[in-house]
Amino acid sequence: MLAGTCIVVEGVLQLPSLAVKHVIELKSEKVLHLGVVDHEKYPLSKKRVPLDALRDWAHIRRRTTTVASITRISNALIHATHTFFQNNGFLFLQVPVITAIDSEGFSEKFRVTSLAAKTARKEEPTEESDVRGVGLETIKASIKEKSHQVEELKRNDSNRDALVAAILDLNKTNELVSQLEATEKMKNATSLKSNAVSTSEDHSPCLAYLTVSRRLHLESYACALGHVYSYGPRFRAETSQTAKYVAEMWMVETEFAFAELEEAMSCATDLLKYLCKCVLDNCPEDMKFILKRVDKTVAHRLQSVISADFMKISYQEAVVVLTKVTEKNFKSKIEWGLPLTEEHENYLADEIYKVPVIVYNYPKEVKPFYVLLNDDGRTVVGALIRGSQNEESMNMVTNRVKELDLPSEKYEWYLDLRRHRSVRHAGFSLGIDFMVLLAIGITDVRNVIPFPRTYGKINS
């Protein structure tokens, strides 16, 4: 029977009759074939196909044991995330995917427009223009032939009438080409004007984008209802091909009122510990497979997160510590004002402190405009778990919007939250896809996302 064949087996489940590695035995009485595969084309015909090779078969790869285990663990993490927030008094909200703002101030965004289809229709050549376009090229080609004919007649004085007629025909042809070229130029100029982007014809009256973060919209609810959270996709139009970032990733994001940075750090830490414990407690069979086939140390790593006291250091401290490292050459430069890379973060957690690390007080230039500014005017409140205490001063937020040259009129609704009874509030974002990587020990996020969307590659 070929791998991938779909069958129904009727029989009796019993203990193994022979001393083998299996824990149960199926004594079959009837086997029904429900579906077969084309063995030559079926991507899973070979054993142990690498995960990287299966990305081109995203719709098929979940039939492998590894991806099936990843899917069940991912499901358990999503369920546990909702359970954690619901048990701690958070309200679940669905916030927009389409937005008119840049939620961070410096993101690469996907634009949402209905103009593309209209522009394409305008650019479709009509039958008349097609004929004229072909006619113009044909006429240009005939000029060479007619010029050659005139030269031949000039060398032969026997037929003066034919020469005069040929010259007249050539002149008319040149005039026709000039007229057609002028018409084409005028048409192209008109087409450029008509195809210029005009939001008055678009579905939205202003430029719209796919969201890069939901925290600004969540804040409007937090200021009214207290603790809120959402779970959904975020989009970044980055062109880099890395193992940790794709165009579409699913995030859990939260905001809670009357909270400062410490509360955000504490909540994020509790969530991370809760999710690690959930995987160990609720996915024993899948974790047994992961330990055997993927990463033998993953259970120990999860248990370490559960039992560890997280280390909290400032960005300044992190830079000082990393610049003193001599036994490793980092790929990216370490300098105050530059963001810490994944390599820097991993070295802090795995080699220096050997516990999960939260870094706070980042330079304001590498954090979103809404993050609370410290008294030094250079740093903002932030963390490696991608969270922050938000700025409650309207003047400070307005100044940051101006600094980043953002269109202020699009942020009026957000500034209203400061005009009308703002309170201390904080929140954080956690990528569920990153949590799956932590739980199973795989390093490439494209291998755990069901249908990864990357630059230059969307085939399903």
How sure is the predictor about 119, in pLDDT bands with cuts at 50, 70 and 90? low
User: Do residues 171 and 147 touch, judged by C-beta distance below 8 A?
Assistant: no
pTM higher than 0.75? no
pLDDT tens across 243-291, in order?
Answer: 877 889 899 999 988 888 888 889 999 999 999 999 999 999 999 999 9
Facing residues of 380 across strands?
A: 362, 373
Handedness of CA 92, 97, 98, 102 (dihedral sign): positive
User: Do residues 254 and 427 touch, judged by C-beta distance below 8 A?
Assistant: yes
Q: Give the list of residues 6+ apart from residue 86 with CB closer than 8 angstroms, or none.
A: 92
pLDDT tens across 281-302, in order?
Answer: 999 999 999 999 899 999 999 9
pLDDT (0 to 100) of residue 289: 92
Mean pLDDT for the chain overall = 81
pLDDT (0 to 100) of residue 198: 57
Which whole number is the average pLDDT over 168-190? 75
Which whole number is the average pLDDT over 393-401? 80
What is the Cα–Cα distance from 330 to 322, expressed in whole angstroms? Answer: 9
Is residue 182 predicted with pLDDT exceeding 60?
yes
Top mean pLDDT of 170-184, 236-250, 289-303, 351-365 is at 289-303
Would strands 91-92 and 227-235 be described as parallel, antiparallel, or unpaired? parallel
Is residue 203 predicted with pLDDT exceeding 90?
no
Q: Which of 146, 135, 145, 147 is nearest to 177 (CA)?
A: 135
pLDDT tens across 308-320, in order?
Answer: 898 888 888 999 9
Q: Give the list of residues 6+ apart from residue 257 with CB closer than 8 angstroms, or none.
A: 222, 223, 226, 227, 423, 424, 425
How sure is the predictor about 383, in pLDDT bands with cuts at 50, 70 and 90? very low
What is the Cα–Cα distance from 130 to 125, expressed in whole angstroms? Answer: 6
The two most distant CA atoms of the chain are separated, in Å, by: 111
Top mean pLDDT of 100-109, 253-262, 369-378, 414-423 is at 253-262
pLDDT (0 to 100) of residue 400: 82
- Cα separations (Å) of 385 from 79, 248, 334, 382, 393? 20, 19, 20, 8, 24
pLDDT tens across 42-67, in order?
Answer: 778 777 778 877 887 888 888 888 89
What is the Cα–Cα distance from 438 to 236, expressed in whole angstroms? Answer: 22
Is residue 73 predicted with pLDDT exceeding 70?
yes
Tokens 């890395």, residue located = 242
Which whole number is the average pLDDT over 169-177? 79
Which whole number is the average pLDDT over 152-177? 73
Rounded to 10 degrees, the C-alpha dihedral 14/17/20/22 comes to -10
User: Do residues 222 and 264 touch, judged by C-beta distance below 8 A?
Assistant: no
pLDDT (0 to 100) of residue 28: 85
What is the Cα–Cα distance from 44 to 367, expressed in whole angstroms? Answer: 44
> Above pLDDT 90, what percent of the chain?
20
What is the Cα–Cα distance from 398 to 304, expressed in whole angstroms? Answer: 43
Top mean pLDDT of 111-115, 168-172, 263-267 is at 263-267
Collapsing DSSP to helix, strand or coil, 90 comes out as coil
pLDDT (0 to 100) of residue 370: 63
Q: Render 290-308 in DSSP notation, one character per residue.
A: HHHHT-TTHHHHHHHHHHP
User: Do residues 17 and 49 touch, judged by C-beta distance below 8 A?
Assistant: no
> Which is higher by pLDDT, 433 or 171?
433
How sure is the predictor about 132, in pLDDT bands with cuts at 50, 70 and 90? very low
Facing residues of 308 across strands?
A: none
- Cα separations (Å) of 116 from 191, 319, 409, 457? 15, 46, 25, 20
